[in-house]
Chains A and B, each alone.
Chain A
Amino acid sequence: MADLGVNGKDISSSPVRSLARRQYSALVLMRFRMLANSVRSVQGAFEFGARGVAFLIYSMMGIGLGFGLGAGAYSLVSSEHFQYLPALFWTVFLVWQVLPIALASFQEQFDLSTLLRFPVSFGSFYLLSIVFGLVDVPAILGGICCIGIWVGVTLARPALFGWMALILAIYAVFNILLGRAVLAWVDKWLAKRKTREIVSALFLLLMLSAQLLNPALHEHRHHRRGGDRAAQSSEQDVIDELPKWTKSVMAVEPWLPPGLAADTVIRAADGEMQLVLLSVAGLCFYILASGAVLGIRLRGEYRGERLSETPAARRRTADDSKWLIDGSGPIAAVLEKELRIIPRSMPLLFAMGAPLLTVLVISTVLRNTNDSGHPFSWAFPLCVCYALLGFTQMIFNNLGSEGTGIQTIFLSPTPIRTVLLAKNLLHGALFCIVAFLAAVFAAFRLGLPDVTLAATTAAWVVFAVPANLAAGNLLSITMPYRLNLGRLSRQRGSQASALVSMLIQLSVIGCGVVVLELSTYFGKGWLAVPCLLVLAAIAGVAWFRVLAHADSLANRNRESLIATLAKTE
């Protein structure tokens, strides 16, 4: 049957522009209606308010960062230290490229593949995938950072006003395209078991490299310090002393987008227009390359590719019937299910692993910025606390990954409290393992903490686990959101849940800080341990009380739980 539009006109042969325009306006209207409809319910209104608060927080962060980069740009350009300009562009690059992965699971993102049933042209699909990426947090932060640099450079050199606008606009387009391409490809790789294993192995390799890299650099620093500290090395001396591989990196750096962008500014400041145009052309080449990489991925999606294709069926093996957890009880059943699902879910693996990587970075920074040779007293508990952040989503939305399976739980003769208890036991155990690893990393990088601090940190963990689990169970039942375990990006997410859980995490960390500070202030550091253990006992009671009331609470929220978690994409 012909695809007929109004007045009998064949839509498929209509100019793409006209149809696309109608589709864009339909999409805008749809998004507006969805937004308007979402505030009809109390939860929706709360979510809307939370998004506003989150937007404000991110904007403040962006303004702070933008102001800092602007001040840096002003200082560098006015003092003609142009050689350090790449650092500013690299900062923007990291904000734009790293944040999307870190925040992917917390942001609500519209899944454009739902539009493929409509006559959407590939061009429109491509354009929409970019446009929808313009309103996310990294884009807002990156944009504000670019504006900061623009203002800073312009104030220092008003003549560069136009060039800076052009360079930063090109740089922003490149970052937007690259960010979208990275997320799209990461989703593709993580969807298949084989590539997921390769990515996981690379992730582990990265962590190990970071472990080995730091001692090498640290050794080098100490070697330098051990020499003549009084004689300040010249810049060239510093470069000469760097390991060989860093020189290779520095040789390549000017050809990478941040280096090229900085080079364009320098050439523009020097008035070398031919070289400026050459650098701009270089940046445009990167735009085309990242656009093409994104295009290849989007073309696959546009053709209806399913990301979650698993390998072809294999004949059964004896191991297929192996149980990971013995026992026929529901706790064993839930534990086994979770243990099988977690290794297949990159968002959860990433959430657990990323803080460990950050702990390595934090401990490295703290070690390298602390010239006294004594570990920074807060470093050890700080690293352990940070490990907790990776569990935010897992603990505070512990039913989110069930999807339609939530009905199985409600239909089974197992009380919800038993299901939550099993999940809590597993999540608590995983957190303790990750916290232990973070502690080991921190101790390895910063040296062993004193016994009191180690005991205080351990006592804080004993307090933090039940406190988080109690609050997590409440939030999981009252403010759930569906979590697609096969994707790192394009999750439904919930700003309200993210904000409330972050607030609770900060309160738990804040309790530890206050107790430790007060006991240190009164000269009785050891007092923090019993104080935190008392808090742990209170948190434990709260956790038991929440579990005891979990069934009645879940039954009261049963309908919204099922509606939220079982709703289709």
Chain B
Amino acid sequence: MEIAAIQTRGLTRTFGALTAVQDVTFTVASGQFFGFLGPNGAGKSTTIKMLTGLLEPTAGSIEILGKPFTASALDLKRQIGVVPEGMALMGRLTAPEYLRFVGRMYGLERETVNRRTEELLEFMQLADERRKLITDFSHGMQKKLALAAAVIHGPRVLFLDEPFEGVDAIAAGMLKTMLQGMINRGATIFLTSHVLEIVERLCTHVAIIHQGRLVANGSIEDLRAGVASTLPGAENEQRLTLEEIFLSIVGAGGQEVTQELSWLT
């Protein structure tokens, strides 16, 4: 039996009286491009933080590559790469210095670190900005650097929190190619994004979290079929986009505009 890349059981996280994530259970198979969707404040980032060891679950368990994952599971941390919410960069370093720092933190050999740093800088089109401090990078450049740092050690499981936010179209195209290449070589990618077109194009499976609870989980085709079956007319199935599926499952949440903002021109 193939080992799942990520498996959660009853994952729960509370902040005082607020339950941000409640009883979330899902499995991501190895080699899957998995999209994790949800409206703002649904619990996506909280889940990703728990999956990467940045936040301790209040209840439930996490397995990465078949082994229990905790913040102190250092051997497992070598197998994962993360672009967290705040990108986790070090502003007073230059891009090559930061990549070398990260590479060494993952225990890579000197030659490997240097080679991969150069390759990643070239790939991310950051080679000409090597003297600039990260703090002076644009948001898009920082995003590309955070991605480079997340993959420098060749992770088997990659967690990406809004990786395409602020990245230009050319770079986004290259990144998609890179990520698809990783999938082809057997890596697993766990992606959160609000750009549903990108998720639809890249991911084979998605899970949707809403108000802390998992409300849908499966392949896009399965979800499409499931949603279409609830709609009048089976012919709708082929036309449903992921955005329509998402809105149908999450709903506008009763957030139809009930009154116009008349003061807006």
Contacts and interface: CB of A to CB of B under 8 A. Distances in A.
A332 B133 contact: no
A406 B89 CA distance: 9
B53 interface: yes
Interface in B109-153: 109-110, 113-114, 117-118, 127-133, 135-136, 149
Given A405-B88, A412-B105, A413-B77, A337 B133 contact: no
Given A320-B96, A411-B54, A329 B104 contact: yes
A345 B133 CA distance: 12
Contacts of B24: none
Interface string B81-104: 010101111111100110011111
A310 interface: yes
A44 interface: no
Interface stretch (A104-112, A458-466, A554-562): A554-562
B198 interface: no
Interface string A327-352: 11110111011001100110000000
Interface string B244-265: 0000000000000000000101
Nearest to A324: B97
Interface string B226-248: 00000000000000000000000
Contact of A328 (B52, B93, B104): B104
A64 interface: no
Contacts of A408: 88-90, 102, 105, 149
B74 interface: yes
Interface stretch (A270-278, A311-319, A375-383, A440-448): A311-319
B195 interface: no
Contacts of B86: 404, 407, 566
Contacts of A315: 128
Given A310-B132, A323-B110, A403 B149 contact: no
B90 A2 contact: no
B105 A333 contact: yes
A551 B54 contact: no
Interface string B188-214: 000000000000000000000000000
Contacts of B107: 328-330, 413
Contact of A337 (B72, B78, B93, B130): B93
A519 to B, nearest CB: 45
A330 B90 CA distance: 16
B131 A328 contact: no
Q: In the complex, which range does the number of interface residues on chain A fall in?
A: 35 or more
Name the residue in B87, B91, B109 with the highest tally of chain A Cβ atoms < 10 Å from its Cβ: B91
A92 B52 CA distance: 54
Contacts of B265: 1-2
| Residue among A310, A311, A402 with most chain B CB within 10 A | A310
Given A321-B96, A410-B71, A313 B129 contact: yes
A310 B55 contact: no
Contact of A411 (B75, B88, B109): B88
A341 B82 contact: no
* Of listed A321, A328, A403, residue having the most chain B CB within 10 A: A328
Nearest to A8: B263
Given A340-B93, A404-B89, A411-B77, A558 B55 contact: yes
B101 A333 contact: yes
A309 B71 contact: no
B130 A308 contact: no
Interface string A368-404: 0000000000000000000000000000000001111
A414 interface: yes
A199 B183 CA distance: 51
B26 interface: no
A309 B106 contact: no
Contacts of A332: 104
Given A4-B263, A407-B86, A412 B106 contact: yes
Contacts of B108: 328
A336 B94 CA distance: 13
Contacts of A146: none
B97 A311 contact: no
Interface in B42-73: 52-56, 71-72
Given A407-B86, A486-B91, A486-B92, 13 more contacts: A313-B130, A316-B127, A321-B114, A327-B110, A333-B103, A345-B92, A401-B92, A404-B88, A404-B89, A405-B89, A411-B77, A413-B105, A562-B54
6 contacts: A311-B131, A320-B96, A336-B97, A407-B84, A413-B75, A558-B71
**9 tightest CB-CB pairs across the interface, nearest first?**
A333-B104, A407-B88, A405-B90, A413-B77, A412-B105, A413-B74, A404-B86, A413-B78, A408-B88
Interface of A: 1-2, 4, 306, 308-311, 313-316, 320-321, 323, 326-330, 332-334, 336-337, 340-341, 344-345, 401-415, 485-486, 551, 555, 558-559, 562, 566
